[in-house]
Amino acid sequence: MKTVELLDVEKIRKDFPILKREVNGRPLVYLDNAATSQTPQQVINVIVDYYSNYNANIHRGVHSLSQEATDAYELARQKIQKHFNANKSHEIIFTSGTTHGINLIANGFSNRLKAGDEVIVSALEHHSNIVPWQMLCERSGANLKVIPMTQAGELDMEAYGKLLNTNTKLVFVNHISNALGTINPVAEIINMAHEVGAAVLVDGAQSVPHMNIDVQKLDADFYVCSAHKICGPTGIGMLYAKESWLLELPPYQGGGEMISEVTFEKTTYADLPHKFEAGTPNVCGGIAFGAAIDYMNAIGLEAISSYEQELLDYATQELNSLDGVVIYGPDKNKTSVISFNVENIHPYDVGTLLDKMGIAVRTGHHCAQPIMDFYQIPGTIRASFMFYNTKDEVDTFISGLKKAILMLS
């Protein structure tokens, strides 16, 4: 049986209201999923239901609305725990997104590092998994080391092994490159880091929509992601951290909810997970995040992954048939992202013309400027696919690209 038969894509597309709209008089072809995925009606309904029927602050009220909101919010935490196979629900910390989770951990290590310690990041990182560690090293005196990338868009694992030593305290790597689609060998990276006593944070922003993640199997110390990449709302995400680390690290912010007792002489902090969740949270966002997890699991991530691989293979084949197109990143072991350029044409110009045809792609450095510097290019055109995209949309994209090339040549 072909994998395409496992998904009723036309039925799935009906779940997404935005896919019915037109842009510049053309049916929308949305291929910017690596930036944000679209939201199904099932998740939209949960958001409307919250604000219509039980909008209230949580954990504090004895009245019914507060209790209903609290129960729904904590149920979402349990759904996320189960989905990522965290050992305990309080190992799931709600955040505003991936960047928030990374900064929370960077702040927690501020007083744990000293001059001479080493922190390792990879050359494939998004800026949000580079800048916080640069800031941490500036504060602590630790040294930042970089795992180099190869011309194929993969990490040089031999070089990584040589970087590791007893001074290595932290390693940070994305599971999948947002700019190239490279799937990094994170299990191997984690195991090698643990052998020298280093902790590892994995940026899972790009991996969670496309594959099943088991944080215990990976043995990740920290794993972060955003709901808006996995059919949920913006402004909500999660940090998974092993309980031992959460007990050891200090709170990121001070305020309400994260305290046990407050006097002017001393404050004691709340138990996990509330120690790291200061202030009124994005209650609706957390509940909708849980609904998005339900939606993805109802379809099945294995079926999603197989179908998206077909889309990737088909789009890659079609792009390779065009003269002057250069694709960046690995040929294999990648997810549904194609980052490419057309010789002698600026990517921004191509993206602008595609938009006129109703085709949404991303252009620029994708918050991964070191990758662009490595290839000595100003940026790329990035087409990124989700399970609600179709081969017909790929055909429309290729046809539009041919027109853009003809106009700009």
Angle between helices 283-299 and 64-84 (to 10 degrees): 40
CA–CA distance, 122 with 280 (Å, rounded to integer): 35
CA–CA distance, 371 with 296 (Å, rounded to integer): 31
Segments in 85-156 forming alpha helices (H): 98-108, 131-140
Is residue 82 within 8 Å of residue 296, measured between CB atoms? no
Is residue 209 within 8 Å of residue 33, measured between CB atoms? yes
Residue 379's closest CA among 327, 341, 325, 324?
341
Residue 143's closest CA among 173, 165, 176?
165
Phi, psi (deg, nearest 5) at residue 275: -55, -30
Among the options 137, 225, 231, 367, which is catalytic?
Answer: 367
CA–CA distance, 109 with 105 (Å, rounded to integer): 6
Is 137 an active-site residue? Answer: no
User: What does DSSP assign to residue 409?
Assistant: -
User: What does DSSP assign to residue 30?
Assistant: E
CA–CA distance, 263 with 192 (Å, rounded to integer): 45
Give the CA distances from residue 327 to residues 181, 331, 355, in Å, rounded to whole numbers and listed in that order.
Answer: 11, 9, 20
CA–CA distance, 144 with 121 (Å, rounded to integer): 7
Q: In sequence order, what are the beta bridge partners of 90?
A: none
The single-letter code of the amino acid at 95 is T
State the sign of the Cα–Cα–Cα–Cα dihedral 97, 100, 106, 109: negative
Is residue 345 within 8 Å of residue 409, measured between CB atoms? yes
* 3-state SS, residue 312: helix
Residue whose entry in the numeric block shows the structure tokens 């070089």:
159
Q: Which of the residues are catalytic?
A: 367
